[in-house]
Structure formats: structure tokens, C-alpha cells
Amino acid sequence: MRLLAGDRILFPDADAPAAGWIEVDGERIVATGLGTAPRPADEQLVGLVVPGYVDVHCHGGGGASFVTTDPEQVRTVLAAHRRHGVTTMVASLVTGRPEDLLAQVRCLAGLYRSGEIAGIHLEGPWLAPEFHGAHPTPLLSEPLPAQVGELVDAGAGAVKMVTIAPERDGALDSIALLAGRGVVAALGHTNAGYDQARAAIAAGATGSTHLFNAMAPLRHREPGPILALLEDPRVWLELIADGVHLRPELVAFIASIAPGRVVFVTDAMAAAAGPDGDYLLGELPVEVRDGLALVAGTDTIAGSTLTLDRAVQIAVAAGVPLAVAVRAATQHPADYLSLSEVGRLAPDMRADLVVLDNDLAVSRVLAGGSWLAR
């Protein structure tokens, strides 16, 4: 048993950090409390202590990608983001050929069983051509339940989320199938109208893949999917708070009207936590210049180079309350995908925590009860 104490710990649902303590046994938190520790602490934590960050929409980092059948590539991504405080990661795939997606899902499923990743997110191929983003349009397809079910089955429980355009043929039946299997259906890359989005939510969709980005815009006579997603309390709201995909002021506004539903995601590609250069996102060439990732030769954004610690910094600087910003990167994404053992500093949770300095930069990371080397 180890007793960790700190003057600024952000416990679940608290409005502000407070003095307290955390007792760790192996990989688990076994007890927590406010105020003075019940015995002399084994270690005094200096800085703001928050849960380990949880990224549920990420494609890569550190020069590597989850779009692979090489487990070492996956571990490179995990290590790059772990240095930035991410202790739980869901691996996102992009649109690809059916046989390639099956191979990638099976590879990642092995890493899910070993506990290295928390699941798989299928972002494509069931997307709208009008809002394909960095997904190759020739490989997009209708979300027919048989095809969706085949990929979900290939993951053997590892597939946790699927992005789907609800206006495509078969979408509502596939959303119902996913919901029935405990897989989150997230509306995204969609040209759906308001009524189509509401029908998808009624069928069981509970997520919005990077809200505002790659979807029909909010118009006064045609509100599209955005209004339907914002107004329904069952829906989680993914935001890419990098200052590029969304104005920070918009992030702050959404956090003010729906503070309990905001989920910060990175949508990061291989250049995250790495240098500028030329990369691939799936099969598409991507140019990264000054941290901005664009499909080569276009002005189409191709994921981001964001890390979750930076998302929290940007959000707080824009006026999002600290506790709301931290929960959007920890507790909310865990609840979004029903990851029951992470996202909170509480008994029976995995012993994942991050120590932040006064600038909210990561200074130390405890993952599964072990400190990462500085």
C-alpha cells in the first residue's frame, strides 16, 4: 500500500481541487479522502492532481498510427500520448478496404485483450460523401447491418464505438444493432437533416463524432444534425479543442450550455507529439506544417496534432472552468464509452493520475500504479 497526499486533488464531481489523499494498492486505488491523510504519506504530490486523461478518438501519434497490423506501431502511439497524460486510449481506424479493416480490427483486438488499449473506434466507411473529410470517397459504403455486424464481431468485444452517417441506407437498422450490442453509435461525417438525426438518436445513437466538424452546418431553416445532437441530453458531445477545428470561444459556449456532456477528443494523427512533415492517414497523404495537418495539396483538415493536455489548457484559457475541462478529458469520455474503471480518482478505479504544474502542463504520470520515467 502507498499513500499519496496532495494539496490540490480534483476528486469526482468536485467544483474545485482540494487537499486530500489517495491510497494505492498495486494497480488500484483502494481509498481516498479529503483533508489530512490517516497516516504519514509515502509521497507528497506537488501540483494539481487529476485523473489520467482518457482519449476515445485518436488515430495516431509519435510518428505512428493505429491504422496498422503491427502491434509495435500501436505501442509507439500509446507511449507518445502517455507522456502527455493519456493513460487510457481507444484506437480509431479510418475508412479502408473491407479486408484491410478486418485485419486491423483483429490486430487491435489482441491489444484490447492484453489491456493495452481500451477499445476500437471505427470511423468509417459508413460516412457521407459530402462530408468525407480525410476519408477516401471510393471506399465509403452503405452501413448495411450485415457488414457492420461483421466488423463488430471481428473485434470480439473490442469495438466500442462506430461513426455513422444516419441518412445512408441501412443506417437506422445498424444503429439499433450497435445499441443492442452495447456499442456506441456516434453521428458524424453526415449530411443528415434535423429529423434524420432525431430518428437516429431514437434508434439508439448516443454520440456525436467531433461535433460541428464534417457535418451539415446549423442553419436557421435547416438546423441539420447539430441542433438535434445539442438538444438531446442522451447524446455526448465530442469537441476537438485545438483552436483549429473549433474557435475556443465555441468550445467555451458548448461547455457552458452542456457542461455534463462535453467530451474532449484529439482526433490526432501520426504527427501528434511529433515533428512537422509528410505522413499518411490511412491511405491519404497528409502534410503537417506548423502543427496543422491537411490532406496533401488541399485545405482539408486531416485529423489534428492535438494532445489532451493541450486541449485542457486551451479550454481553460478560453474560459471553461477547470473542473469542467478536466472532466471533459477524463470522467466524461470514460462514461461515454462505459469504461468503468478509469476517469475518476475513486476507490476501485485503476490507479491512473496526472500531476499538472501551474500552467496545466504534465509533470508526472502514474499509470496502473506505476510512475512513468520522467
Looking up residue 355, the CATH number of its domain turns out to be 2.30.40.10
Cβ atoms < 10 Å from Cβ of 109: 19
- Spatial separation of the C-alpha atoms in residues 105 and 108, rounded to whole Å: 5
Report the CATH number that the domain containing residue 131 is assigned in CATH: 3.20.20.140
What pLDDT sits at residue 288? 83
213 labeled part of a ligand binding site: yes
Residue (of 97, 177, 166) closest to 131 by Cα position: 166
Residue 290 placed within a domain: yes
Residue 155 placed within a domain: yes
* H-run or E-run covering 197: helix 194-203
Q: In this structure, are 43 and 58 located in the same domain?
A: no
Q: In this structure, are 239 and 270 located in the same domain?
A: yes
> What backbone phi and psi angles, to 5 degrees, belong to 183?
-100, 135
What letter represents residue 279's amino acid?
Y
Residue 341 placed within a domain: no
- Catalytic: which of 267, 309, 335, 352? 267
- Read off the pTM: 0.96
Residue 335 is a catalytic residue: no
What pLDDT sits at residue 153? 96
Q: In this structure, are 59 and 33 located in the same domain?
A: no
302 labeled part of a ligand binding site: yes
301 labeled part of a ligand binding site: yes
Q: In this structure, are 45 and 60 located in the same domain?
A: no
241 labeled part of a ligand binding site: no
Q: In this structure, are 259 and 366 located in the same domain?
A: no
- Spatial separation of the C-alpha atoms in residues 252 and 242, rounded to whole Å: 12
- Spatial separation of the C-alpha atoms in residues 329 and 59, rounded to whole Å: 17
Residue 162 placed within a domain: yes
What pLDDT sits at residue 296? 82
What pLDDT sits at residue 330? 98
> What backbone phi and psi angles, to 5 degrees, belong to 297?
80, 10
Residue 127 placed within a domain: yes
Q: In this structure, are 113 and 37 located in the same domain?
A: no
Domain total for the chain?
2
Residue 197 placed within a domain: yes
C-alpha cell belonging to residue 289: 506544417
pLDDT 10s digits, 211-259 = 999 999 999 999 999 999 999 999 999 999 999 999 999 999 999 999 9
What pLDDT sits at residue 283? 73
What pLDDT sits at residue 219? 96
What letter represents residue 198's amino acid?
R
Residue 151 placed within a domain: yes
Q: How far is CA 338 from the centre of its chain?
A: 13
- Spatial separation of the C-alpha atoms in residues 147 and 162, rounded to whole Å: 12
Cβ atoms < 10 Å from Cβ of 115: 10
Q: In this structure, are 27 and 79 located in the same domain?
A: no
What pLDDT sits at residue 287? 86
Q: In this structure, are 367 and 325 located in the same domain?
A: no
- Spatial separation of the C-alpha atoms in residues 129 and 139, rounded to whole Å: 10
> What backbone phi and psi angles, to 5 degrees, belong to 238?
-75, 135
- Altogether, the residues listed in the chain come to a count of 374
Is the Cβ–Cβ distance between 316 and 324 less than 8 Å? no
CA 109 → CA 61, 104, 113, 186, 336, distances in Å?
Answer: 19, 8, 6, 20, 20
Q: Which residues of the chain have pLDDT under 70?
A: none
Residue (of 240, 247, 211, 205) closest to 329 by Cα position: 240
59 labeled part of a ligand binding site: no
Q: In this structure, are 154 and 300 located in the same domain?
A: yes
Is the Cβ–Cβ distance between 59 and 303 less than 8 Å? yes
Q: In this structure, are 138 and 197 located in the same domain?
A: yes
Domain that holds residue 37: 2-50+347-371
Residue 342 placed within a domain: no
Is the Cβ–Cβ distance between 186 and 161 less than 8 Å? yes
What pLDDT sits at residue 68? 95
C-alpha cell belonging to residue 347: 476507490
303 labeled part of a ligand binding site: yes
Q: In this structure, are 24 and 147 located in the same domain?
A: no
Q: In this structure, are 357 and 225 located in the same domain?
A: no
134 labeled part of a ligand binding site: yes
79 labeled part of a ligand binding site: no
